[in-house]
Amino acid sequence: MTSSLKHRSAIATSPDKMEFAADVIHGLSQPSKSLSCRWFYDAKGSDLFEQITELPEYYPTRTETRILQDCVPAIVARTEAGSVLVEYGSGSSRKTEILLSALNKLAAYVPIDVSEAALEDARARLSAKIPGLRIFPVIGDFLAEIDLPASLRQKPRLGFFPGSTIGNLTRDAAQGLLRTMGERLGPHSRLIVGVDLIKDPAVLVPAYDDAAGVTAEFNLNVLERINRELSGTFDVDAFEHRAIWNAAQSRIEMHLESRRQQTVQVLDRTFDFAAGERIHTENSHKYSLDGFSELARKAGFETLECWTDANSLFSVHDLRFNPR
Ligand code: SAH
Ligand code: AVI
Per-residue pLDDT, averaged over 198-220, amounts to: 98
pLDDT for 75 equals 98
Atom of ligand 1 nearest to the CA of 141: 23
Return the best residue to mutate from 40, 48, 49 for the ligand 2 pocket (most ligand atoms within 8 A of CB). 49
Q: What is the model's pLDDT at position 102?
A: 96
With 80 as the cut, is the pLDDT of residue 69 above it? yes
Based on its alpha-carbon atoms, the radius of gyration of the chain, rounded to whole angstroms, reads 20
Q: What is the mean pLDDT of the chain?
A: 94
Rounded to the nearest angstrom, the distance between the alpha carbon of 187 and the centre of ligand 2 is 30
Q: Quick one: pLDDT band at residue 4, thresholds 50, 70, 90?
A: very low
* 290 CA to centre of ligand 2 in angstroms: 22
CB 19 within 8 A of CB 26: no
Q: Which ligand is nearest to the CA of 23?
A: 1
Q: Which ligand has the nearest atom to the CA of 218? A: 2
Task: Say how far apart CA 225 and CA 220 lie, in whole Å.
Answer: 9
Nearest CA to ligand 2 atom 6: 284
CA atoms within 13 A on the CB side of 4: 6
- Residue 70 alpha carbon to ligand 2 centre in Å: 23
**227 in the Ramachandran plot: left (φ > 0), alpha (ψ -120 to 50) or beta?**
alpha
The kind and range of the H/E element at 109 are: strand 108-113
Q: Are 224 and 259 in contact (CB under 8 A)?
A: no
Query: Over the stretch 90-122, which tens digit does the pLDDT of each residue have?
Result: 999 999 999 999 998 899 999 999 999 999 999
Ligand with the closest atom to the CA of 113: 1
Residue 8: which pLDDT band, with cuts at 50, 70 and 90? very low
Query: What is the band of 298 on the pLDDT scale with cuts at 50, 70, 90?
Result: very high
Total length of the chain: 324
Q: Which residues of 250-271 are buried (b: 16+ CB within 10 A; e: fewer)?
A: bbbbbbbebeeebebebeeeeb
Averaged over 268-278, what is the pLDDT?
98
What does the pLDDT look like over 155-167, one tens digit per residue?
999 999 999 999 9
- DSSP tag of 198: P
* Phi, psi at 189, each rounded to 5°: -80, 160
pTM score, whole prediction: 0.95
Q: Which of 90, 115, 165 to mutate to test the pocket of ligand 2 (most atoms within 8 A of CB)?
A: 165
**Spatial contact of 59 and 203, defined as CB atoms under 8 Å apart:** yes
Tens-digit pLDDT profile for residues 130-146: 999 999 999 999 988 77
Is the pLDDT at 81 greater than 60, yes or no? Answer: yes
CB count in 10 Å sphere of residue 285: 25
CA gap 23, 230 in Å, rounded? 11
Alpha carbon distances (Å) from 304 to 127, 191, 321: 32, 10, 10
- 247-268 mean pLDDT: 98
For the chain, give the percent of residues with pLDDT over 90: 90
> Is the pLDDT at 88 greater than 80, yes or no?
yes
Ligand nearest the Cα of residue 254 is 2
Q: Measuring from each residue's beta carbon to the nearest atom of ligand 1, which residues come in under 6 Å?
A: 38, 41, 46, 49, 53, 61, 89-91, 95, 112-115, 118, 141-143, 162-163, 165
| Mean pLDDT, residues 179-200 taken together | 96
What is the per-residue pLDDT for 322?
Answer: 95
Pairing mode, strands 84-88 and 108-113: parallel
Does position 125 have pLDDT exceeding 80, yes or no?
Answer: yes
**Per-residue pLDDT for 14 more than 70?**
no
Determine the residue of 168, 199, 221, 242 to mutate for testing ligand 2's pocket, defined as the one with the most ligand atoms within 8 A of the Cβ atom.
Answer: 168
Measured in Å, residue 164 CA sits from the centre of ligand 2 at 8
Closest Cα to atom 1 of ligand 1:
90
pLDDT interval class at 324 (50, 70, 90): confident
Across 46-66, average pLDDT = 98
